[in-house]
């Protein structure tokens, strides 16, 4: 067991408007899995991802990543965890505008003691010919590839993706999913993908269904579909 969540609760707001948005999340994910977290808008997917990512504080429960319990870490330890263990990919790419594609990806590699070769990544991501361009010279798909490259460059053991295809058209989305699949095959990265697109769940070893801050179902699939065969 790699990721282990024990009765996690998260609240937003103060006093009268205090609201429980995660209502006791209990589940685990094995190392090397592709896991999809599926649920309608507002169900708490991003909140849960941000807790796993150490970006927001866990109010109740425990969250283990490997042997580490995030809920007892100091902010310094959390920073170290984020730098060393995690790759994070957002729906809106968050690239540094005045760095080129190559430099954006390198900025991920610098964080790691065992980075993936940036040249190799540029090739795998199909960005070799664009490596000297700036983000505003790229299509949405190319920007997302660059963001994936930056997240992967440090060779993270856990890759968190929040709606990674949310801003992309159908064909570019499939392209990005195939890329994630290939990175999983090549580097054995554990990948957690948040989405509201239930077709994407077909490429997962484990699907966690979230609704209204609670897990309503978990499905395990030892033989997921190839990303290229998924249609929606």
Ligand X SMILES: Nc1ncnc2c1ncn2[C@@H]1O[C@H](COP(=O)(O)OP(=O)(O)O)[C@@H](O)[C@H]1O
Shortest separation between residue 44's beta carbon and ligand X, angstroms: 4
Q: Which is nearer to ligand X, 163 or 175 (CB)?
A: 163
Whole-angstrom CA distances from 116 to 66, 108, 145, 171 are 21, 10, 15, 27
- Window 22-81: residues binding ligand X (CB under 6 A): 39, 41-47
The footprint of Mg ion (CB under 5 A) covers: 46
- In angstroms, the CA 149 to CA 115 distance is 11
Q: Which is nearer to Mg ion, 50 or 157 (CB)?
A: 50
Q: Which residues pair with 34 in a beta bridge?
A: 191
Neighbours of 25 (CB within 10 A): 23
User: Which positions from 183 through 212 interact with ligand X, judged by CB under 6 A?
Assistant: none
| Residue 110 CB coordination number (10 Å) | 10
Given the complex with ligand X, which of 138 and 161 has the nearer CB atom? 161
Instruction: Provide the minimum distance between the beta carbon of 45 and Mg ion in the complex, in angstroms, as a whole number.
Output: 5
* Other beta carbons less than 10 A from residue 77's beta carbon: 13
| Measured distance CA(230)–CA(86) in Å, rounded | 27
Q: 3, 5, 21, 105: which one contacts ligand X (CB under 6 A)?
A: 21
Which of ligand X, Mg ion, none does 12 bind, CB closer than 5 to 8 A by kind? ligand X
Residues near ligand X (CB under 6 A) are 12-13, 21, 39, 41-47
């Amino acid at each position: 067991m790699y990721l282990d969540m024990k009765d996690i609760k998260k609240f937003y707001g103060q006093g009268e408007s205090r609201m429980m948005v995660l209502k006791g999340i209990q589940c685990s994910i094995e190392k090397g899995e592709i896991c999809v977290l599926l649920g309608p808008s507002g169900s708490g997917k991003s909140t849960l991802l941000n807790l796993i990512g150490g970006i927001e504080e866990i109010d109740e429960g425990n969250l283990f990543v490997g042997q580490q319990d995030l809920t007892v870490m100091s902010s310094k330890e959390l920073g170290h965890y984020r730098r060393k263990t995690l790759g994070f990919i957002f729906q809106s790419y968050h690239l540094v505008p005045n760095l080129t594609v190559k430099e954006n990806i390198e900025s991920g590699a610098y964080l790691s003691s065992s980075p993936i070769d940036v040249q190799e990544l540029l090739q795998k991501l199909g960005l070799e010919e664009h490596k000297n361009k700036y983000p505003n010279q790229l299509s949405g798909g190319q920007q997302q590839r660059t963001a994936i490259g930056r997240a992967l460059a440090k060779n993270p053991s856990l890759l968190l993706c929040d709606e990674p295809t949310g801003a992309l058209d159908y064909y570019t989305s499939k392209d990005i999913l195939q890329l994630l699949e290939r990175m999983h095959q090549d580097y054995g990265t554990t990948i957690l993908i948040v989405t509201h697109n239930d077709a994407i769940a077909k490429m997962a070893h484990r699907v966690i269904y979230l609704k209204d801050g609670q897990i309503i179902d978990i499905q395990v699939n030892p033989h997921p579909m190839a990303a290229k065969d998924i249609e929606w």
